[in-house]
Amino acid sequence: MEVEEPVQEEAPSNLKSTLVVIAAFMSIFTGCGLNFAFGVYQELYESMSQLPGRTPFTGVTPAQIDLIGTLAVSMMSLGAPFASGWCKSYSPRRITLAGTIIFATANVLASFSQHLWQFVLTQGVLLGCGTCLTYITAVTVAPGWFTTHRGLAIGVISSGTGVGGVVWAPALRALNAQIGFRNTLRLTGGVSSVLLGAASLVLDWDPRTKRQIQRERATSSTSRLRVTLVDWRVARTRKFIAQCLSAGLQGAAYYAPVYFMSTYARTLGYSAATGAMFISISNASSAVGKVIIGHVADRAGRINVFLFTTLMSAIATLGLWLPSTVSGGKTLFVAFAMFYGVFAGAYVSLFPATLVELFGVEHFASVNGFLYMVRGFAALVGTPVAGALIRSAGSHVGQEVMSKLFFNTSILVGVLLVGATVGVVWVRIEAALSMMDRQVGVGGFKWRI
């Protein structure tokens, strides 16, 4: 039976795997792309808080508006154990469809919101939950369809976030100006229901994983709503602990530069429109980087390239953004926007592929769900702390001084990314030791991991 399995997987690995990539890309392009474009609404809501008369955001502070986007991004990862577990209990198609309904409903309900707390619940919590079900399903299902080109495939899929950022941010800004933000939210709900609904028709487990899940169902009598926990034999390993450390530290750092990039650009003297353009530059760099680096990872070793991207993210932050906050250097910041987009984005795309390498396909869903939850908790803490450091620096006047408001935040992000790099070094060491144990008497040290 074991000899026949690879032959059975061969048939759908071309057409069906390509369709899965397209569907997963569409899911991430829509869900994550719209979620990460919240900066457009944040800028609008902050301007509304300064308008005379009564608006939903009159008297609301920027920190309170930040909460909407922070919760949306955090919920996207916090619910990962549930999303990945339910994919096994029900099916990826049903979970993606459920996420589609929640995502579209969240946008429509937000369009009728009249108070901050209503936006927090709809455009924050509910939208994040919908994104979670579509995003986590996509990154959980896709890796099983590939072996030799897994890094490239996940890179293409994850580039949906960057492409979405390039497309959705200017589109939302133009629509807000033309038809108003409430109608834009309603239109977004309709468009997302079509795109995500189409993706839900395609996403499914690969044949090998599907057979494994069917065997698990046949021997298990537990509730379908029960979340699949990480196997204790996996959770107690050093490589799992190391990956938890890396995921948490990188998750705490990752979103701060993305969220505050436009605001920081304005402290350097750029206009609001130009500041928003830097987000598009970073997203475009991220999209290209994920595909190219994913392809390189298939050849040079996914964990090796994973380590390289984490290190380069830290270097970009401490070597480009930090000096820019001191000198007010525009060139340094432009370089940072591009380099951070390429390498920090590549970390996210390589993350699922490395989990398959480290823990195998059989443990991937549970480990992936748990570690994404770790990243969600980390983002829920790291991003608000980064914003608090900016506000605590004071509101001095003057271009050079204003850029220094981000000095402490750039240090925080840099230190967190250095810590994440140390965590990945540990992961690399443990992966090498594990491989050497399995290959005793077969050969020497293998560098391509």
Type of residue numbered 48: M
User: Residue 183 and residue 189: Cα distance in Å, rounded?
Assistant: 10
User: Residue 273 and residue 266: Cα distance in Å, rounded?
Assistant: 9
Straight-line distance from the first to the last Cα atom of the chain, in angstroms, rounded to the nearest whole number:
29
Structure confidence at residue 191 as a pLDDT band (50, 70, 90): very high
Report the mean per-residue pLDDT for the chain: 85
Continuous segment of H or E residues that includes residue 221: none
Q: Indicate the CATH number of 1-228 among 1.10.1740.10, 1.20.1250.20, 3.40.309.10, 1.10.3080.10.
A: 1.20.1250.20
What are the structural domain ranges in the chain?
A: 1-228, 229-449
User: Residue 195 and residue 390: Cα distance in Å, rounded?
Assistant: 37
pLDDT (0 to 100) of residue 74: 86
pLDDT (0 to 100) of residue 223: 58
pLDDT (0 to 100) of residue 242: 94
User: Residue 410 and residue 320: Cα distance in Å, rounded?
Assistant: 10
Cβ atoms within 10 Å, residue 388:
14
Residue 221 in this model has a pLDDT that exceeds 70? no
Structure confidence at residue 233 as a pLDDT band (50, 70, 90): confident
pLDDT (0 to 100) of residue 2: 40
pLDDT (0 to 100) of residue 439: 59
Structure confidence at residue 365 as a pLDDT band (50, 70, 90): confident
Structure confidence at residue 5 as a pLDDT band (50, 70, 90): very low
**How far is residue 413 from each of residues 8, 25, 103, 248, 322, measured CA to CA in Å?**
46, 28, 30, 12, 10
pTM as predicted:
0.82
Q: Among 70-74, 338-342, 424-428, where is mean pLDDT lowest?
A: 70-74
| CATH architecture of residue range(s) 229-449 | Up-down Bundle (1.20)
Q: What is the mean pLDDT of residues 341-365?
A: 87
User: Residue 344 and residue 254: Cα distance in Å, rounded?
Assistant: 7
Q: What is the DSSP letter of 122?
A: I
pLDDT (0 to 100) of residue 89: 84
- Chain segment 295-308, per-residue pLDDT in tens: 898 888 889 999 99
Cβ atoms within 10 Å, residue 52:
6
Percent of the chain with pLDDT over 90: 38
pLDDT (0 to 100) of residue 264: 85
Structure confidence at residue 328 as a pLDDT band (50, 70, 90): confident
Structure confidence at residue 146 as a pLDDT band (50, 70, 90): confident
pLDDT (0 to 100) of residue 445: 52
Is residue 12 packed enough to be buried (19+ CB in 10 Å), middle (13-18) or exposed (0-12)? Answer: middle
Nearest one of 33, 21, 144, 156 to 84, comparing CA atoms: 144
